Amino acid sequence: MDHNAMEDEVEIDHLTVELPEGEDPLAGQAMAQQLIRQLAALLVE
């Protein structure tokens, strides 16, 4: 843990999203990016 980092700073190194059978990988990527944005917004509040 980097104690010099700002306390409200969050780093996400890797996120894996399981796609439903036959789902378009690009749609899955867009879904994952949307989830990350929603999570970041919650963390910043």
HSE-up of residue 23 (Cα within 13 Å, Cβ side) = 12
Range of the domain at 28: 1-45
More confident residue, 11 or 39: 39
Higher pLDDT, 27 or 38: 38
Contact in structure between 12 and 36 (CB atoms under 8 Å): yes
Q: Is residue 1 scored above 70 in pLDDT?
A: no
pLDDT over threshold 70, residue 4: no
24 by Cβ neighbours in 10 Å (0-12 / 13-18 / 19+) ranks as exposed
Q: Whose CA is closest to 1, among 10, 15, 45, 44?
A: 10
Main-chain phi, psi angles of 21, to 5 degrees: -55, 125
Mean pLDDT of the residues in the chain: 76
Q: Indicate the pLDDT class of residue 7, thresholds 50, 70 and 90.
A: low
- Choose the weakest-confidence range: 14-18, 24-28, 29-33: 14-18
Q: DSSP letter for 15, please.
A: -
Number of domains in the chain: 1
| Residue 39 one-letter amino acid | L
